[in-house]
Amino acid sequence: MKAAVFHAPNQPMTIEDVEIDNPGPREVLIRTAAAGLCHSDLHFMEGKWPWPAPAVLGHESSGIVEAVGSDVTYVKPGDHVITCLSVFCGYCECCLTGRMSICQTTEVKLPPGKAKRMRWKGEHLNQYLNLSSFAEQMLVHEHALVKVTPDMPMDLAALIGCGVITGYGAVVHTAKVEPGSSVAVVGCGGIGLAAVNGAHIAGAGRIIAIDKDPEKLALARKFGATDGVLADDETVGKILEMTGGGVHNSFECIGLKQTAEMCFSMLRPGGAATIIGMLPIGTKIELHGADFLRERRIQGSAMGSNRFRVDMPRLIDFYQQGRLHLDELISGRLPLGQINEGFEALKKGGISRNVILFDH
């Protein structure tokens, strides 16, 4: 199969012929249909987060089941599926208490460098986040998949696999935004727009989108934002004034120290700041201790605290009802051979999501 191989940080990926195994017990072989280019991939490509190389990156994808290994009961060949990096075991404490997105059982969620499913030039090729979707095929555990209706467009379905479930889930599951409450979303890329959309679906009364790009603020209004604020040094003061003392919930969707601290500062007493963005390893956030006396909170969110086999079919229902906006998220559709150009466009900003389409 053809795959984009990552060699080292800040080097272009190359399109190579790669070998992939047949499915073993509990494994599923998928013919990849579409894969989104996500900022999370970019963090690893730029060395902000480590990953063993060579590797095939990519984690936001959809496809069609080609073959299944022994003991697989959930899917069969021909099923349309969305992948998800939050592979779950179903029996650990996290899974049994409803926190499947942070399952760490290494039998299903293999640590970096442990998956032995691909080879390149006869040598071990590292799988990324148990998926590696920048390739024509993926070999994954069956608990990394959710079946979806075959009438769902595969390029749009891929977006649900990471960006949409992460933004929507952070609002609905992690923060549990209440109807009528106030929300601020800092950063209106793909995840931020999904958070805005999630807040709208949840019934938030006021949804304030914050970004440096006026075009993204205009797009955020289509996703349900009631207000748009151009980010500058006075952003926190503007939010406090607009809301009469701060928002109930804020969401950081970029992954920066400054914006994480900003999200906490714009909270009203009793409010919660949810950090969605991937802050570079070693980043420390500074907060004023006195603010905690008014029960302000700051919390993380992993993949939107999802229960993806429940959430993703519901999101497809929302899309088909016109309540979830996916078409507007796609900035461009590219072949695998243009993956480096797609990431260069992502670095420059001004886009939501480029998607790789596989021509089979």
Euclidean distance between CA atoms 302 and 275, whole angstroms: 9
Backbone angle region of 81, left / alpha / beta, with phi > 0 → left and psi within -120 to 50 → alpha: beta
The DSSP code for 161 is I
Phi, psi of 346 (to 5 degrees): -65, -40
Cα–Cα distance for residue pair 88/76, rounded to 1 Å: 19
Q: Where are the alpha helices (DSSP H) in 128-213?
A: 154-159, 165-169, 190-202
Angle at which helices 235-243 and 257-265 pack, to 10 degrees? 20
Residue whose C-alpha is closest to residue 354's, from 42, 28, 24: 42
Hey, what domains does the chain have and what are their CATH numbers? 2-162+305-357 (3.90.180.10), 176-300 (3.40.50.720)
The single-letter code of the amino acid at 360 is: H
Per-residue pLDDT of the chain in tens (360 residues, 90 and over written 9): 999 999 999 999 999 999 999 999 999 999 999 999 998 999 999 999 999 999 999 999 999 999 999 999 999 999 999 999 999 999 999 999 999 999 999 999 999 999 999 999 999 999 999 999 999 999 999 999 999 999 999 999 999 999 999 999 999 999 999 999 999 999 999 999 999 999 999 999 999 999 999 999 999 999 999 999 999 999 999 999 999 999 999 999 999 999 999 999 999 999 999 999 999 889 999 999 999 999 999 999 999 999 999 999 999 999 999 999 999 999 999 999 999 999 999 988 777 789 999 986
Tokens of 100: 């499947």
Point out the residues that are catalytic.
38, 40, 43, 59, 162
Q: What is the DSSP letter of 281?
A: T
Looking up tokens 């022994």 gives: 70
pLDDT for 349 = 79
User: What pLDDT is recorded for position 360?
Assistant: 65
Residue 344 near residue 235 (C-beta atoms within 8 A):
no
Contact at 8 Å (CB) between 268 and 248?
Answer: yes
Residues 33 and 49: their CA atoms lie apart, in Å, by: 27
* Structural element, H or E, at residue 32: strand 27-36
pTM above the 0.85 mark? yes
CA distance 160 to 60: 8
Could you tell me which residues are beta bridge partners of residue 35? 61, 356
